[in-house]
Structure 1
Amino acid sequence: MTMISARVERLPFSGFHRKMLLAGGLGYTFDAMDGAVLAFVIPVLRTTWNLSTAELGMMVSAAFVGAIVGAFSAGTLGDLIGRRKVMMSALVLYCLASAASAMVNDWHAFVALRIVAGIGAGAESVIIAPYLSEFVARRYRGIFTGALAGFFSFGFVLAALLGYFIVPTSPDGWRYVILITAAPVVILLWWRRTLPESPRWLESQGRAAEAEATLTVMEASAMQRGAALPALDPEEVASQTPSAERGSPLKNYATLLSRKLRRITLMTWALWMSQAFSYYAFFTWIPSLLVQNGMSLTRSFGFSIVMYVAQIPGYFSAAWLNEVIGRKAVIVSYMLLGGVSAITMGLATGETQIMFAGMALSFFMNGAYAGIYAYTPEVFPTQVRATGTGMASGMSRFGGAIAPLMVGLVYPAAGFAGVFSMTTAVLLFGGLAVLIFGVSTKNRSLEAISAQEMAH
């Protein structure tokens, strides 16, 4: 380890980390609200604008198309100019475009603005996990990043509540809901004041003095609360010197696809794409599918709220298990159990069966994300961590973009059972990729994981 990484690794969990967890988590909450609220808006817009199923599919996919651009851009820029700058700029873009989309009266303009909002949301979302994971020690990194992803669940529940209580109240209810999801711009001032740049990234860029200053603040925060910092092991610190190499977009992409990292890179692509495809095939369309199976719009929204609430224990149980059984085991087991739940829901006949199967599916599929968000930044070296995570997230957005279109094609031909059989097959593909090609990261420093991968 380098001196900087060794000092990060000896830090206890402190108030500094709690502030970062809340600041990053709120970003994920609003990201989730933005994506989930469309599930409650599109049934209304379908009637208001007299849209076909294909046009609805385009509307849902618009944000994912933008997010593909945002994810790739954020990852690349995050490694070149810094994680913090990318995160804050992306949030501004998302807020402005999302608010504007609530004002339009034409579905073409709505789609265009959702693409722009998707660029901002995709960029902001992809940079948070690699950014914050670099501030925490290995002994609690898994539960920290898993809990960070758990904030997505709050966004989904809030979106469901907004959809249930506000969307049906007036013809403009959908506009009010979208405006509410654009609210996170108010936390920009807090982020600007409280969030420093990653010390590990600063060190990788040769900016040792800035990294030193950030760590001094973190250590002071811990010691003010009575924590005693252990002495650094000279042999461990001397085992690695900071890299003097500077990256570029092409160089970073080449590194990720090099012989040493190609297996890891392709594994993360398969993981993120399969999880996002299955996830959004379910959650984006569930209210509409329930309506088409005989439920009223209001009742379908009520069922959706119950299913979304099941996300919360799903995320946080997986976050805890990240440290108990490891991220790799969490991902594989939760994806497998999510597949079983999807099949069960596809075969369900009564409303009670549908509700409980949907709750189980929500629990396990969201729990898998707590493992995925903790795991992905860990398997890439610091110099390409944001780029690697961004590319994986970009592939997930591709999966999310095609999922609604595939549901629109499969449902008329194969019904409810066909949709969830499709999601199960895709989930199993992603789980197998991790099981066969993934590496263990439990209780290992980021530097130790990178050293093993680069030594292959």
Structure 2
Amino acid sequence: MEVVASAKSQEKTVEVGTFFEDMPFTKKHRFVGIALFMAFVIEAWEMMIIIMISGAIAAEFSLTPVQVGSLIGAIFLGMIPGTYVWGIVGDKIGRKKTIIYSLLLYGVVSAVSAFSPNYETLYTLRLLSGFSLGGVLACIFPYYEEMLPVKQRGKAAVFLSAGWPIGTLIALGITSLLMDLDGVLGGWRAIIFISSLAGFWAFVIRKIPESPYWLAGKGRTDEAKQIISELSEGKTVVSQGTELYVSKVKQGSIFEIFKTKMIKTTALQTIVNFCFSFGYWGLYTWIPTLLQQKGLSMGQSLGFVALSAVAQIPGYIVAAHLTSKYGRKKVMFAFVLFASIFGFAFAYSSSVFQLYAFNFALGFFSLGAWGVWNTWFGEIYPTNVRGVGYSWGVGGQRWANTVAPSLIGFVIGLGWVFGATVSFIQVFMVITLITILFIRETEGEILH
């Protein structure tokens, strides 16, 4: 087998990312990708499933609309402290262990929640479920990007984002199959319990290696070298006399991302994460209600959700191919721009055909942009605070997830019509569009 080692490997001290510049993309990378892809699928369906079964829960517990909204938002509210805590943990104990512990804890809490005797218990456990799942949310993209060759990092990481629509479709499928069944085999409790079994995926995550970037940051150079060799299937070798390093910032410290050299990045990514998430979640959590203003039935509205999920898949694929060719900034700007245009067009659709057509285009461009952002966002901080920085931004997303349903419900309650409500949501997409212009490009750069 041919062994390729950069001349830089003969130097005494080398930045670990240097060895990913010419690393080939191997079967080991594919296995890591599949394992983490399914973890993201699990995250997506757990976040969506409660929306789809909320009607049945409301009927059993005689809930008010306010209580239903609070229950839907509970997982996101739990994820806010969860992402902050797990982000610090991920930088301290490693990406792999954090995701394993997060999945296992989620599985236990979610399984117990299926037996909730009342609304208060279910709400509390959904809150804890969100906290538990925060470790997957905070670490999954930084972890995957730290395993990939520089040339394939953008495309592969965007493909990872396609786990979101797959998770949504699985949630729809499980709900459709089980909701109307009687006894222990069906109903909302069975759906939650079956979903909780996804926690066992932690045992698959155990089979993938720890991030060599994180290991180098911990001074565990020999282990990092071994994993670089494993990932490249022996084609990239670090010599015995070489020390690996990453950018020297205090590991796992949230205060680091607010220091002078990082404060601008932190401010910009927080704005993008909040506004971009508000623009997406504010629309899709209320889409059934909004579409009923247009004369569609609840069944047709759920079909709309499924169509949106299907439209997202080609959006991710196209974005993945474009980002490695044109860079993160250009592709994301173009996709958010078109998402905004079609969002406003969707707001003022004058026929059912236009609703479907503009919704398909909106789903294609908005989620393609999310794929690019998940990748770009995971690259902008150095290794020792990548988990903390990423978790801070994801926390902003969860604040938006929590605030958006209530705020949109408030304006609908004021009597705002479909066009005005959807246009208001699209304003947040425009803010996103402007903000990304000020974030530095990372395509082709090694991670630091």
Q: What TM-score do you get using the length of structure 1 for normalisation?
A: 0.88
Q: Deviations over 1:92-131 (max 9, x none)?
A: 1212222222222422222111111111222212201101
The offset of 1:53, in angstroms, is 2.7
Between the aligned partners of 2:94 and 2:200, the Cα distance in structure 1 is 22
- Residue in 1 that maps onto 2:148: 136
- Residue in 2 that maps onto 1:242: 245
Between the aligned partners of 2:90 and 2:210, the Cα distance in structure 1 is 11
Structure 2 residue 166 is the aligned partner of structure 1 residue 163: no
Q: 2:101 aligns with which of 82, 89, 104?
A: 89
**Partners of 1:9 and 1:136 within 8 A in 2:** no
- Residue in 2 that maps onto 1:314: 315
The offset of 1:443, in angstroms, is 1.3
- The 5 Å alignment of 1:179-198 reads 179-192=193-206, 194-198=207-211
- Residue in 2 that maps onto 1:269: 270
**Partners of 2:308 and 2:360 within 8 A in 1:** yes
Question: Does 362-371 or 19-28 show the bigger shift?
Answer: 362-371
Structure 2 residue 189 is the aligned partner of structure 1 residue 175: yes
The offset of 1:36, in angstroms, is 1.6
Say which SS state the counterpart of residue 24 (structure 2) adopts. Answer: coil
- Residue in 1 that maps onto 2:428: 426
Structure 1: state its 5+ residue gaps.
448-456
Q: Deviations over 1:340-376 (max 9, x none)?
A: 2222222224333222222222212211111111101
The 1:367/1:288 distance shift into structure 2, 3 A limit, reads same
- Residue in 1 that maps onto 2:334: 333
Say which SS state the counterpart of residue 393 (structure 1) adopts. Answer: helix
Between the aligned partners of 1:31 and 1:430, the Cα distance in structure 2 is 24
- Residue in 2 that maps onto 1:370: 371
Question: Does 350-359 or 6-15 show the bigger shift?
Answer: 350-359
Between the aligned partners of 1:182 and 1:291, the Cα distance in structure 2 is 32
The offset of 1:168, in angstroms, is 4.6
Letter in 2 for 1:54: V
- Residue in 2 that maps onto 1:444: 445
Between the aligned partners of 1:149 and 1:244, the Cα distance in structure 2 is 27
Structure 2: state its 5+ residue gaps.
1-7, 9-13
**Partners of 2:247 and 2:382 within 8 A in 1:** no
**Partners of 1:79 and 1:385 within 8 A in 2:** yes
Between the aligned partners of 1:92 and 1:332, the Cα distance in structure 2 is 37
Between the aligned partners of 2:192 and 2:244, the Cα distance in structure 1 is 48
The 1:243/1:438 distance shift into structure 2, 3 A limit, reads closer
Between the aligned partners of 1:168 and 1:151, the Cα distance in structure 2 is 27
The offset of 1:248, in angstroms, is 5.2
The 1:53/1:244 distance shift into structure 2, 3 A limit, reads closer
**Partners of 1:36 and 1:284 within 8 A in 2:** no
Between the aligned partners of 1:131 and 1:203, the Cα distance in structure 2 is 14
- The 5 Å alignment of 1:89-108 reads 89-108=101-120
**Partners of 1:21 and 1:148 within 8 A in 2:** yes
The offset of 1:133, in angstroms, is 0.5
**Partners of 2:99 and 2:202 within 8 A in 1:** no
The CA RMSD over aligned residues, in Å, is: 2.4
Between the aligned partners of 2:272 and 2:404, the Cα distance in structure 1 is 15
Letter in 2 for 1:425: V
The offset of 1:191, in angstroms, is 1.6
Structure 2 residue 228 is the aligned partner of structure 1 residue 215: yes
- Residue in 2 that maps onto 1:395: 396
Between the aligned partners of 1:7 and 1:296, the Cα distance in structure 2 is 56
Q: Deviations over 1:374-399 (max 9, x none)?
A: 10121111111111001011111111
The offset of 1:333, in angstroms, is 1.9
- Residue in 1 that maps onto 2:3: none
Question: Does 305-314 or 291-300 show the bigger shift?
Answer: 291-300
Say which SS state the counterpart of residue 310 (structure 1) adopts. Answer: helix
**Partners of 2:213 and 2:246 within 8 A in 1:** no
Q: 2:215 aligns with which of 202, 213, 218?
A: 202
Say which SS state the counterpart of residue 390 (structure 1) adopts. Answer: helix
Between the aligned partners of 2:140 and 2:229, the Cα distance in structure 1 is 22
Say which SS state the counterpart of residue 77 (structure 1) adopts. Answer: helix
Say which SS state the counterpart of residue 162 (structure 2) adopts. Answer: helix
- Percent of residue pairs identical: 26
Between the aligned partners of 1:286 and 1:445, the Cα distance in structure 2 is 40
